[in-house]
Structure 1
Amino acid sequence: MSHLKRATTAIVSVYALSFLLTACGGGGGGTSDAAGSAAPPTRTADTVDPAVTAQGPAGAVTTPGTTPSASLPGDDTVGPGGSGNPRDPAGAFGSGRPATTRCHTSELTASVGRVDPGAGQENFPVVLTNTSSRTCTVRGYPGAAFTTADGRQLGPDPRRQPGTTVRTVTLAPGRSAWAGLRFANPEISEARTAVPAVLLVTPPDEREPLEVPWKGGKVPVGGNESVVWLSALSPGTAP
């Protein structure tokens, strides 16, 4: 029995020594870091660096802590008042000023004022009056033509008077604007003449004319100094 006991003890000692040697080898026979520190971790595709810019909504590139800007829809459209902003069509930005639009033929009446002769010229104010219930505007030169009672035009169309100021005239209900109609006195110029029955007056940017009975006598329709001039509209009824 003593021999068997010694043999068993020896076998156990051998196994114990083998286990201790294996444990000291670091497992699998590898070697440890001489400084005892672990190797740096490997960066994976899922690692997020907070300093890297992020992809914001709709592809907008942003940095951390910022909000991507967005364009306001329709800001570059033009609204009814022409301000370019449909949310403020009058262009007043909360001032309460209503948008005004041009006067139409149906909202106006036309008349011809008293002649103002001078320096061999005949000068007549052609007046447009706002007869509507709203405020509207006129700008530039009216159209004009002398005609017979049956609508036949006499002479060429008047020309625009050079050097006159073009302005936008705001007409409240009942207010007027005037344009000067001027031509050389036919008695002096010896131009060919005719006596019109009607002066047709067309407001700026309109196509329908207004008929005004002509009471100013002879007008030049051809020959020497037969040009009829018309100035741009100004506020009021006469110079």
Structure 2
Amino acid sequence: MRGPALVAGAVALLGGLTACGDGAATNAPRPTAADRATATDGPAPTGRGTGSPTPSPPQAAAESPTAGDTAASASSSARTDGRCHSSELRARVGRVDPGAGQRNFPVVLTNVSDRTCTLYGYPGTAFVDASGRQLGPDPRRAPSAPETVTLTPGASAWSGLSFASPEISGARAATPDALLVTPPDERNSLEVHWTAGEVPVGGNESTVSVTALAPGTGP
């Protein structure tokens, strides 16, 4: 009976093929080259053109100025550039204020520039004759507490110029042609024509003194 035997053999062979088809390793599709790269190499490294920012070199932060450095720089600049220069000032001598044998004059410096500037300390002063020769010693600084005087355009600061009246003190006297006034920390002097008569230039009681600059035009 070959017919049934052949049928049985065919059924058995079909069952064996079906059992082999259930194994994943036998019929699974082969991985492509891209699949192998993904499975073995992991995520592709980030490089140029990915949009990721390039980290700054470590020294960049150290070289950037801090807020404190900026403030210090601004402060230094203000101290240097904020001073009133001789070319920005006009000098004059105010009315005499006599008292107890003394002659006292306000020496006034006015800001004639278009910017705000500052003065600090004592002005330099010297009496000179018509040829520019100094008369008498340099005036001395009277004890006082200097302060920074801020001058807006048109504002003034003053210093007191004082000496004993020569006719009372007996000091050797002369009549100057001008008073030279040098603003603090400046080299160029401002010349003011002197019209207040004799000043002491030698001998006893010939000292002339000046005070530190203060706001305003006089006492």
Question: How far off its partner does 1:202 sit?
Answer: 0.3
Is 1:154–2:135 an aligned residue pair? yes
Aligned-partner residue type, residue 172 of structure 1 = T
Please say if residues 183 and 229 of structure 1, whose CA atoms lie closer than 8 Å, have aligned partners that are also in contact.
yes
Offset from partner CA, 1:192-224 (integer Å, 9 cap, x none): 000000000000000000000001110000001
Aligned-partner residue type, residue 72 of structure 2 = G
2:166 to 170, 173, 186: 186
Is 1:145–2:136 an aligned residue pair? no
Alpha-carbon separation, structure 2, partners of 1:205 and 1:78: 26
Is 1:171–2:162 an aligned residue pair? no
Aligned-partner residue type, residue 73 of structure 1 = S
The count of residues paired between Structure 1 and Structure 2 equals 161
Aligned-partner residue type, residue 184 of structure 1 = A
Given the superposition, is the C-alpha separation of residues 58 and 173 from structure 1 closer, same or farther in structure 2, using an over 3 Å criterion? closer
Aligned-partner residue type, residue 195 of structure 2 = K
3-state secondary structure, aligned to 1:220: strand
Aligned-partner residue type, residue 84 of structure 1 = A
3-state secondary structure, aligned to 2:184: coil
Identity %: 62
1:84 to 67, 72, 75: 72
Is 1:231–2:219 an aligned residue pair? no
Given the superposition, is the C-alpha separation of residues 58 and 134 from structure 1 closer, same or farther in structure 2, using an over 3 Å criterion? closer
Offset from partner CA, 1:91-112 (integer Å, 9 cap, x none): 9xxxxx9x96000000000000
Please say if residues 75 and 84 of structure 1, whose CA atoms lie closer than 8 Å, have aligned partners that are also in contact.
no
2:105 to 117, 124, 133: 124
3-state secondary structure, aligned to 2:87: helix
Match of 2:85 in 1: 104
Offset from partner CA, 1:162-211 (integer Å, 9 cap, x none): 1x120000000000000000001111110000000000000000000000
Please say if residues 100 and 137 of structure 1, whose CA atoms lie closer than 8 Å, have aligned partners that are also in contact.
no
Offset from partner CA, 1:12-66 (integer Å, 9 cap, x none): xxxxxxxxxxxxxxxxxxxxxxxxxxxxxxxxxxxxxxxxxxxxx969xxxxxxx
Q: What's the RMSD between the two structures over aligned residues? A: 2.6
Structure 1 unaligned blocks of 5 or more = 1-56, 60-69, 92-96
Match of 2:117 in 1: 136
Aligned-partner residue type, residue 156 of structure 1 = P
3-state secondary structure, aligned to 1:187: helix
Q: Which has the higher helix share?
A: 2
Superposed, 1:176-215 pairs within 5 Å as 176-215=156-195
Q: Which of structure 1's runs of 4+ aligned residues deviate more than 2 A? A: 70-79
Question: How far off its partner does 1:233 sit?
Answer: 0.2
Alpha-carbon separation, structure 2, partners of 1:75 and 1:84: 10
